[in-house]
Amino acid sequence: MSSPSDKSASNSQQEGDKPKPCCVCKPEKEARDTCLLFNGQDSGKCDELIGKYKKCMQSYGFTV
């Protein structure tokens, strides 16, 4: 019987070198968040920044 630590080690090996979502696209995320904070989501002023963030995340294999 394998221990929980053995299972987590095998899971991380299966994922490969894929970074955590919180650790990538930091400049894009900060710009998007700042824009949304001051303008709101419904203003439409942040659509370009949101698109850049989504594209960056997708380049790392994340579905946004």
Asked whether residue 19 is assigned to any structural domain, the reply reads no
Report how far residue 14's alpha carbon sits from residue 25's, in angstroms, rounded to the nearest whole number: 23
Check residues 5 and 42 and name the one with the higher pLDDT. 42
- Binding-site residues from annotation: 22-23
H/E element, 36: helix 26-39
Asked whether residue 2 is assigned to any structural domain, the reply reads no
| Residue 25 burial by Cβ neighbours in a 10 Å radius (0-12, 13-18, 19+) | buried
- Binding-site residues from annotation for Cu cation: 22-23
Residue 12 has pLDDT above 90, yes or no: no
CATH number at residue 56: 1.10.287.1130
Domain that holds residue 48: 24-64
Digit-coded pLDDT (tens) for 26-61: 999 999 999 999 999 999 999 999 999 999 999 999
Asked whether residue 10 is assigned to any structural domain, the reply reads no
Is the distance from CB of 21 to CB of 49 less than 8 angstroms?
A: no
pLDDT category at 2 given cuts 50, 70, 90 is very low
Provide the number of structural domains found in the chain: 1
The pLDDT score that the predictor gives to residue 26 is 97
Report how far residue 21's alpha carbon sits from residue 13's, in angstroms, rounded to the nearest whole number: 17
pTM of the model: 0.71
